[in-house]
Amino acid sequence: MKGIIFVLHGRRNRIARGNFAAVEQLVSLLEKDGFLCRIGLLEGDHQTLEAALTQLQELGVTEYLLVPVLLFGATHFKQDLPERTQKILGEAKVQLLAPLGTTQAIYQSLKQQLMTNLAEKPGTRGLLIAHGTPHYQEPAVQLQQIAAKMSQETGYQILAVNYIGSNDYQSFLTAHPEERFVIQPFFLTHGHLVEKISQWIKKNHLPMDVILPTLEESPALVEALKERLVEAGCIPS
pLDDT at residue 19 in the model = 87
Please give the Cα distance from 189 to 204 (Å, whole number): 23
Read off the pLDDT of each residue in 152-164 and give the average, rounded to a whole number.
97
What percentage of residues in the chain have a pLDDT greater than 90?
Answer: 80
pLDDT in tens, 99-130: 999 999 999 999 999 999 999 999 999 999 99
When pLDDT is cut at 50, 70 and 90, the band that residue 16 belongs to is low
pLDDT at residue 11 in the model = 67
0.85 surpassed by pTM = yes
pLDDT in tens, 38-91: 999 988 777 899 999 999 999 999 999 999 999 999 888 898 899 999 999 998
Residue 24 has pLDDT above 80, yes or no: yes
Residue 192 has pLDDT above 60, yes or no: yes
Residue 6 CB coordination number (10 Å): 24
For the sheet with 210-211, list strands across it.
158-162, 125-130, 181-185, 210-211
Beta bridge partners of 211: 183
Please give the Cα distance from 190 to 168 (Å, whole number): 19
Residues 6+ apart with CB under 8 A from 151: 126, 157, 158
Residue 13 has pLDDT above 70, yes or no: no
When pLDDT is cut at 50, 70 and 90, the band that residue 161 belongs to is very high
Q: What is the DSSP string of the chain?
A: -EEEEEEE---SS---HHHHHHHHHHHHHHHHTT-EEEEEESSSSSSBHHHHHHHHHHTT--EEEEEEE-SS-SHIIIIIHHHHHHHHHTT-EEEE---STT-HHHHHHHHHHHHHHHHTSTT-EEEEEE---SS-SHHHHHHHHHHHHHHHHHSS-EEEEESSSSSBHHHHHHT-TT--EEEEE--SS--HHHHHHHHHHHHHS-TT-EE---STT-HHHHHHHHHHHHHTTSS--
- CB contact at 8 A, 9 and 42: yes
Please give the Cα distance from 47 to 73 (Å, whole number): 22
Residue 25 has pLDDT above 80, yes or no: yes
